Homo-oligomer: A and B are copies of this chain.
Amino acid sequence: MTAPERPRRADARRNVEGIRRAALDVFRASGLTTPLDEVARAAGVSKGTIYHRFGSRRGLIDAIVDELVAERIQGIIAAVGELADPLARFEEYLLRMWLLQYDEPAVNDVLIRALPDSEPLLSLCERAQRFALGLLRDAQRAGVVRNDLTADDLAWLILERGAIVQACAQQTREDYQRRLRFLLDGLRDNH
C-alpha cells in the first residue's frame, strides 16, 4: 500500500554506507557506547546526519549489529558443528565464544544488556543458546561434563566473561586463554 518511493539521493546513499563502515570500525575498537561524534568524525559527516539517517544511536547499532556480531557467532556454530567428540564440541564452543569476546569487545556490549529487543540479534542468541543446550546435553549424556551444570549456567558463564573482558582489558590473550582452561576443567565430570 506504500507509494512507490523515489530512490534516495546519491550523497545520502554514500553517507549511509560511510556511516555504517565508520560505526563498524569505531564500535569494534571502542565498544558500542562510544560517543556518536566519533563515529561522525570517522565517517566525515556531522552528528546530525547520523541521527537523521538512523534515528538514534540504537537505530545505528541495529543497522550494523548483524555484520558486527552475527556472522562471527554463526561461524562458531558452524565450526563446532564439524566436530564429532561431545567433549570437544562442548569445550570448543565455549572457548571460541570466550575468545570472540576477547577479540571483539563490542560483542559484550551487545550481549550484556544494550539491546533488549533487537529482533535479528535476539533470534540469533536464541539459536546459539539452543545450540549450546544441545552440546551440553550430549556432553552430559556422554558423562564428560558435570551434571549439575544447567543451560542457565552456560549463558551466565558467557555473560560473565563479557564483564571480565570489559573491566580487565590489560591481560594478554595468552593469559586470558590459559585461565579459561581452569574454568573448562571445572566443568568436566571428574568424580
Contacts and interface: CB of A to CB of B under 8 A. Distances in A.
B168 A156 contact: yes
Interface in A150-166: 152-153, 156-157, 159-160, 162-164, 166
Contacts of A182: 146, 149, 153, 157, 183, 186-187
Contacts of A163: 163-164, 166-168
A184 B185 CA distance: 10
A152 B146 CA distance: 28
A190 interface: yes
B168 A160 contact: yes
A112 B167 contact: yes
A171 interface: yes
Chain A binding site: helix, strand, loop or mixed by DSSP? helix
A163 B162 CA distance: 9
A6 interface: no
A8 interface: no
Contact of A185 (B167, B171, B175, B186): B186
B186 A187 contact: yes
Contacts of A156: 168, 171, 175, 179
24 contacts: A148-B178, A153-B175, A153-B178, A153-B179, A156-B168, A157-B179, A159-B167, A159-B168, A160-B164, A160-B167, A160-B168, A162-B167, A163-B163, A163-B167, A163-B168, A164-B164, A166-B167, A181-B186, A182-B183, A183-B183, A184-B186, A185-B186, A186-B186, A190-B190
